[in-house]
Amino acid sequence: MTVAIPYPCLALVTDRKRCRLGLEESVRAAIEGGVDLVQLREKDLDPALLLTLARRLRALTEGKALFVFNGDVDLALACGADGVHFPEHAGSIAEARGSLGAGRLIGRSVHDGAAAELAGRDGADYLVVGTIYATSSKPGALPAGPDRIAQASRATKTPLLAIGGVTTDKIPELMGSGAFGAAVCAAILGAKDPGQAARELKAALRAASAARPLVAVTVNGQRRAVPEGLCLQAYLQELGLSSRPVAVAINGEIVSPASRETRALRQEDAIDIVHAVAGG
Amino acid sequence: MKPDDYLEIAGKRFRSRLMLGTGKYRSPDEMRAALEASGCEIVTVAVRRIDLNAPQRCVLDEIDWKKYQILPNTAGARTAEEAVHTARLAQAMGLSEWIKVEVIPDPKYLLPDPIGTLEACKILVKEGFVVLPYINADPVLAAKLQDIGTATVMPLASPIGSAQGLRTLDGLRIIIEQARVPVVVDAGLGAPSDASLAMEIGAAACLINTAVAGAKDPARMGEAMRLGVEAGRKAHLSGRMSPRLYAQASSPLEGVARPAGKS
């Protein structure tokens, strides 16, 4: 994977109607404040305007934050986005992967453990789980509470971003429930100072992640958070692979079975776990 | 087969001179039946990432791999570096020191890269692998490979999976004539007659996958390939006569009783 979600991750979902300032100005400030990923989601804009906006946001995020486009793989590619984000019931992850390749992100919104499990199995790189708290973005949605994060994190190992009414004070319980980060809209865009709002959210995420130290790794092309200091052998055990005929390479170096106990997983390790398959 | 007619590779002896690939069978049951019927003792497998989202059975769960010499391949490698990496991963799985080296840059023709193959083999021989390189039917390359210490050479009969039979017959003959290591004809054999011909001209073994897996009845084709290989081997050992331009009667020309008046 050439792009990877950092841990902890602060994502911003756009809604230009909720901006106090202009959208671009708000996004620029939010990135300066520490937003890691920007999801362009302006469903009512016509495609031509949307593409123009997407290109501007791409330029603005380039080298500073990940940029994903909502719902449309072709437009995502056209604007040079880092990936695409799908709602729960639209868009095929397999087809998107075919167009985007392994080097770009595919995210999906989910609302329960079953959908999280399915999207994880389909190969999503991250999932946005909601609606956690009451939110003005979705006035009709029944808030599910942080239990939904816990439920989803039991169902899948794919990184989970909590969405829906997330504010700074909620971050500790979300991260404690197994979230990889949080996605917000009004909390940043609706703030008087979007940069400051982002800074506070990011600080809360960092503090909560320090209390539950994880390192972000990529395993067979998929993003995973594992406890800091976990050794490879323990991780293989967790995957049910410790006594299977598998081989492991980390960052392109083969790890001999004898050194699995001593090799601790580190931030941004790229792990390949292989086995024998039918072949000629 | 004479009891002392073994295929010997890197000090290991095998009764069967037919190796089978495990790819492309429609079901594990069909694969097992074909392996069984073919009498093969060496089977190839590929090395791939585990799908973390799916149940983690691997091909070795489907066969009794203690019965077989596992021959992992480096299929998918486009360069010498990738082939060496795959070989080391295969070794780290702890199943086999053997490696079928394939360096194939192009997915359309699937022809092996001679330079990359030679480079990868040099490294792997030094690291102690039992190296079985998949090559085009190039006698000069085959000679260089055996010089650096590969356990076999595995020239192709025709492109992988094509079932075109022995398109490289002349090259194969020279490779066999020069060989000090077993020559395994690999890829493109489509029918038992192809396998038999390869053995008749002196190949030490055949490696077949698609022609068996792709038959309507893989077990029966596995058996047919076994018989083809055995027939060809026996023919080779028997010292076949050379072809002649003119007919030569099999029955005596003298003493024929003819009707009256004829002589």
HEC assignment per residue over chain A: CCCCCCCCEEEEECCHHHCCCCHHHHHHHHHHHCCCEEEECCCCCCHHHHHHHHHHHHHHHCCCCEEEEECCHHHHHHCCCCEEEECCCCCCHHHHHHHHCCCCEEEEEECCHHHHHHHHHHCCCEEEECCCCCCCCCCCCCCCCCHHHHHHHHHCCCCEEEECCCCHHHHHHHHHCCCCEEEECHHHHCCCCHHHHHHHHHHHHHHHHHHCCEEEEEECCEEEEEECCCEHHHHHHHCCCCCCCCEEEECCEEECHHHCCCCECCCCCEEEEEEEEECC
SS3 B130: strand
Rounded to the nearest angstrom, the minimum Cα separation between B82 and chain A is 10
Chain B neighbors of A274, CB-CB under 8 A = 47-50, 89, 93
The verdict on a CB contact (< 8 Å) between B54 and A280 is: no
Tell me if chain B has a CB within 8 Å of the CB of A230: no
Query: In chain B, whose CA is at the least distance from the CA of A116?
Result: B53
The verdict on a CB contact (< 8 Å) between A274 and B48 is: yes
Cβ atoms of B156 and B142 within 8 Å: the answer is: no
Query: In chain A, whose CA is at the least distance from the CA of B160?
Result: A280
The verdict on a CB contact (< 8 Å) between A274 and B22 is: no
Q: What amino acid positions of B are annotated as catalytic residues? A: 100
The verdict on a CB contact (< 8 Å) between B94 and A221 is: no
Instruction: Give the pLDDT score at B56.
Output: 67
Weakly modelled stretches of chain A, pLDDT under 50: 1
Rounded to the nearest angstrom, the minimum Cα separation between A236 and chain B is 11
Q: Which of residues 240-269 of A touch B (CB under 8 A)?
A: 240-241, 244-249, 252, 254-257
Query: In chain A, whose CA is at the least distance from the CA of B213?
Result: A280
Cβ atoms of B194 and B165 within 8 Å: the answer is: yes
Cα separation, B199 vs A103, whole angstroms:
47
Cα separation, B247 vs B240, whole angstroms:
17
Instruction: Give the pLDDT score at B42.
Output: 96
CA atoms within 13 A on the CB side of A160: 33
Instruction: Give the pLDDT score at B262.
Output: 66
- B59-B60-B63-B64 Cα dihedral, nearest 10 degrees: 180
- Which bin fits B16, alpha (ψ -120 to 50), beta or left (φ > 0)? beta
Neighbours of B258 (CB within 10 A): 7
Answer yes or no: is the ipTM higher than 0.95: no
pTM of the shown model: 0.74
Tokens of B78: 């486009």
The verdict on a CB contact (< 8 Å) between A245 and B94 is: yes
Weakly modelled stretches of chain B, pLDDT under 70: 1-3, 55-56, 262-263
Residue recorded with tokens 């500073």: A64
Long-range Cβ contacts of B2-9 (<8 Å, 24+ apart): B2/B237, B5/B233, B5/B237, B7/B182, B7/B204, B7/B205, B8/B182, B9/B130, B9/B132, B9/B151, B9/B152, B9/B182
Cβ atoms of A11 and A161 within 8 Å: the answer is: yes
Cβ atoms of A189 and A39 within 8 Å: the answer is: no
